[in-house]
Amino acid sequence: MVSKFTWRLFRARLAFEDPRSRAFDRRHHVETAREEPLGEMGVAADAIKRGNNEYRVTWGWLIKKAMAQLDIDFRRYSFIDYGSGKGKAMLMASDYPFKTIIGLEYAKRLHDIAAENCRTYRSADQQCHSLKPILGDVLDYAPPPGPIVCFMCNPFDETTLRAVFNSWRARYEGGEREIRVLYLNMRNIAESARVLEDQDWLAALARNRRFVVLAPKPVSPTILPTPSPPSRP
């Protein structure tokens, strides 16, 4: 539960960040900054609550700060935004040389805006041009084979978040070991502590109040039994 005081502080911070988000949009020829109630974006009434009710853009500086902690060879990895909204994280990820960039969004109108933004985005730093916004529920999605970066900014309720983490764990246990999780919350990632703390297969590579970068714990080498000396005749 987020307290009224925290919400008041957060609202003030949102007002402070809003001009910066709008400046990003003007600079890159896109529209991502405006908040939208999910009920007006094509989400069925019974699915709104599990998507936290509203679309709210992620602050650019926060995405940048979290991305800077990735210790990977970008060219081998697919970037996937779980709950991609209007596509801001996808667009910012495209300034890195990812193999491909995928955005999953269940609100039809937000998905359409993200698709348009992917077409109109202009950045002298853009290095990946394979941007694929997908309309659908994250619960129905299976990522492509190979290394993946899974990005999220507080997009779901606890049940959905847990199900998504379970799907990554199953993938990992099935042998796909190269995975990074970037989990962001513009207030505090502690709001999802119950799910994050259960991920005993993951370790934090970097963390602060608003983001954590997770990677699978190294697999401990199998200890083989010492061979017994050959028996004398």
**24, 25, 60, 84: which one binds ligand SAM (CB under 6 A):** 84
| Cross-strand partners of 54 | 37
Any contact of residue 161 with ligand SAM (CB under 6 A)? no
Q: Is 110 in the site for ligand SAM (CB under 6 A)?
A: yes
DSSP 8-state secondary structure symbol assigned to residue 156: S
Contact stretch for ligand SAM (CB under 6 A) within 78-86, 94-102, 168-176, 213-221: 78-86
Please tell me the distance from the alpha carbon of residue 194 to that of residue 186, in angstroms, as a whole number.
Answer: 17
What is d(CA 184, CA 121) in angstroms, rounded to the nearest whole number? 23
Nearer Cβ to ligand SAM, position 83 or 216? Answer: 83
Cβ 142 to ligand SAM shortest distance, Å:
14
Q: Note whether 185 binds ligand SAM by CB under 6 A.
A: no
The string of DSSP letters for 64-129 reads: HHHHTT--S-GGG-EEEEES-TTSHHHHHHTTS--SEEEEEE--HHHHHHHHHHHHH---TT----
Is position 21 an interface residue for ligand SAM (rule: CB under 6 A)?
Answer: no
* Closer Cβ to ligand SAM, 40 or 73, answer by number: 40
Is the separation of the CB atoms in 95 and 123 below 8 Å? yes
Taking a C-beta distance cutoff of 8 angstroms, is the pair 210, 62 a contact? yes
CB of 139 to ligand SAM, least distance (A): 6
**Residue 57 touches ligand SAM, criterion: CB under 6 A:** yes
Which stretch in 7-15, 133-141, 201-209, 215-223 sits in contact with ligand SAM by CB under 6 A?
133-141
Q: Which has the closest alpha carbon to 143: 82, 86, 204?
A: 82
Position 155 contacts ligand SAM (CB under 6 A): yes
Contacting residue, 38, 66, 148, 189, with ligand SAM by CB under 6 A: 38
Q: Report d(CA 222, CA 226) in Å as an integer.
A: 12
Residues that bind ligand SAM (CB under 6 A): 38, 51, 55-58, 81, 83-85, 88-89, 104-107, 110, 137-139, 153-156, 160
